[in-house]
Structure 1
Amino acid sequence: MGDTGMLDPLGLDSSTEDVYRALLQHPDWGVCDLAAHLGLTEEIVRGALDLLADMALLRPSQNHPSLFRPVRPEVGLASLLARSERELQRRQREIADTCAAIAAIALEYEAVRDRERGSFERLEGLDRVRARLEELAYEAQDECMSFMPGGAQTPDAMEASEPLDQLAIARGVLIRTIYQDSFRNDADTLRYAQWLTALGGQTRSTPTLPMSLLIVDRTVAMVPLDPADPRLGAMEVSAVGIVAALCALFEQVWAGAVPFGETRVNEHGLSPVEHELLRLLMDGQTDEGAARRLGLSLRTVRRSMSSLMTRLGARSRFQAGAMAVQRGWL
């Protein structure tokens, strides 16, 4: 077929695109007319017509069954674009899963190779983790970066962190913390974020976070032994490659997070939480699963979904997902 065209990402090369455009202008033209007008061979034109029919951009004429009529571009091409976007999202999820698998394999390899060098230390239970966190807070010289998933933070955890954060900032340590957006629904956590920001810390939020994380001076990090149950303890990591990867992950999430005190909506009027809720439900998550991922109550998730369906004019979640893709919301 022809060279790359403007619609090549949708599966249409330049020759097929030219045939489609010509048929939109002259729907009664046959193969000979198209070939003569476009300077193509009849074989290429027939191949283009077959491809357009396979992609549902042509349909048989009701008046002349031997002829095909072009489907309106706002219908046919929009459908192809939505399908391409879904495929892109699927590939992005596959890439993200692959990256996570590679990171897990790398972590296992580094753990074996560097065990004798003390690059990893297993900290069993919350008491040991908190004791080590206090030590790291006192040792910090330049910067502390952390993920705080799960929405509301426990009062005892915030009470323990307050003097440590205050002393660190007084020493000139930059504290950057990323919460889940749902923390704004908890008065105590919101108050703590306000206090930390007034003191000089930097706070942002994002709809979801992969796990809890602390990085101190870009040389040591702490991650949970099991993200689903932080009470089991944490792994302290000082292997250079692993810490660098965790720093890169933090910076990526930080760049897309919303600074404390700001509200942000995209060009479709969606908040980050609303956009993530639509994405989770399109991925097949139940309301309960979405609530866990977002750190929100089930009631809040259902209320938000009902609001999105009303804005879309949808009668079901399936229809809402299809309309969100069609409108470019996802």
Structure 2
Amino acid sequence: MRDGQRTMELGQRAPVLPALGRWGLSPHADLIYRSLALAGPATRQQLAGRLGVVVPRVDRALEELVGAGAVHPARRDDGRWSAVAADLVLSRMHRLRAPVRISDQHRRHLAVVAGLHLDSLPPVTVQRLPSRAAARSRIADLVAAERHEHLAINTEDVITADAAAAASPLDRALVARGVRLRTLGLIPRDGRQDPPFVNGGEHRQAAALPLKLMVFDRRSALFPVDPVRFDEGAVEIDDPDAIAHLTQLFYRIWNTAQDPRGREEPPIVLTAREQKIVALLAAGLSEEAAAADLGLSRRTVVYAVRALMDRLGVENRFQLALVLGAARAVPLPSAVPVDPA
């Protein structure tokens, strides 16, 4: 019997199937459960053919379903997976998990995550951290390895004492090592203007933020699995394109966010290393020559310039010189006429 015929026959007498997305499972996990429940047991390859998706995506969805207790693992004799009865799945879901409330915060979080196309990334670049404790431990490791820049978005209305106790020592250690620390938070509802950040860090506030996020030296990023229930753990990604996407997202918000200290135009403050690099480049040295003069790698010089361009929203080194010159951070480039007035 063909799958379509079997689906039609079973659909006439099948119970109402649970919408697994309400409990945080992915759309593909939901589709595969429905396919197994309505069209009967199938192998991984058969499921991929039914739904028109690649086998690795089927594998990840089946892993979710096994964790949720919604499928019976493949039989050894024929490799076919099968669905657990719908009423048992519903009972288990109600007992173990609360349905996810699709709020504006969830929608913003899911929109950003969908834009990363995690299902198409190499598996080695995506890691699931199963709990808040595991996420905090991994954050500590990543922070310890940072040397250039730490970006963070905090979506909580109120920073709990527990969260502050976990984050403050790490933030202070970053600043002490000369790492640029930039954080985004929500504008306090009660009008407070005392920004919750350490001395030496930079902080801005926005009316709405898309997701809780950390970006470590533009090499790794970490965000929660669920935007509200942080005990569900986090996802760490190391894919360069995904990291670039998240970094650009951060700076799009940063460039329009408010300085809680009331400055309309926050001053541009360069680190000692940035000042030396910019001065040498402004004097006409190449990136290689500037790196050799400072005893740095060319990659470090390129990274510093690229980071400055992203921070200030410019697209090339000439625009960077204009912005820095206008802020009196460096001399204006010689090719730009200066109004004597």
Q: Do Structure 1 and Structure 2 share a fold, with TM-score over 0.5?
A: no
- TM class, shorter-chain normalised? 0.3 to 0.5
Give the TM-score normalised by structure 1. 0.44
Which structure is higher in helix share?
1
TM-score, scaled relative to structure 2: 0.43
